[in-house]
Amino acid sequence: MRPDDFVRLLDTHGPPLILYARQWCDAPEDVVQEAFLKLVSLRQLPRSVVPWLYRVVRNAALDANKAARRRQRREAAAARPLRWFVEPGIEGLDATAAVEALQGLPEAEREVIVARLWGGLSFEDIASVSGCSASTAFRRYQAGLDALRKHLGVPCPIRSPND
């Protein structure tokens, strides 16, 4: 294809192709540009260039629309607050207050508490994951539990000597 034929094709069909792509995606100019770049890169021109362009633009616009929807779902999921509890309440525990209390903890304490209570990790395992000693992991765990009890107004459970 000669350069002036390409320019004429772009001038004649570019704006209608943009309009065509706009019905499916938010970036129709990009889709049309990619279609023309694809056309230029072909070794052999299609038999009917204009219908080929429309097909390529349509497919690319639909793909762009799918990608945008996936991105929106991921962004919406990332924007949702963390959901720490599956159950709305556990034995009288207000899950919303507990989540608020957990989020208010320093990151190191929260990490140890979640790893220990939900993950079932030992303090040695937590230490290897977080890069501290087992005794530091235990101190963070205790400090975090104390802060949670204080925030939630829950006294420390009294254990019998047989526990």
Domains in the chain: how many in total?
2
Identify the band that residue 156 occupies on the pLDDT scale cut at 50, 70 and 90: low
Q: What is the pLDDT of residues 85-102, one digit of tens each?
A: 555 445 556 777 778 888
Grouping H, G, I as helix, E, B as strand and the rest as coil, residue 103 is helix
Task: State yes or no: pLDDT of 159 exceeds 50.
Answer: yes
Residues 65 and 7 in one domain: yes
Work out the average pLDDT over 48-63. Answer: 94
Grouping H, G, I as helix, E, B as strand and the rest as coil, residue 44 is coil
CATH of the domain at 63: 1.10.1740
Q: What is the pLDDT of residues 115-148, one digit of tens each?
A: 888 788 899 999 988 899 999 999 999 999 999 8
Angle, CA 15 vertex, CA 36 and CA 41 arms, to 5°? 5
Host domain of residue 148: 89-152
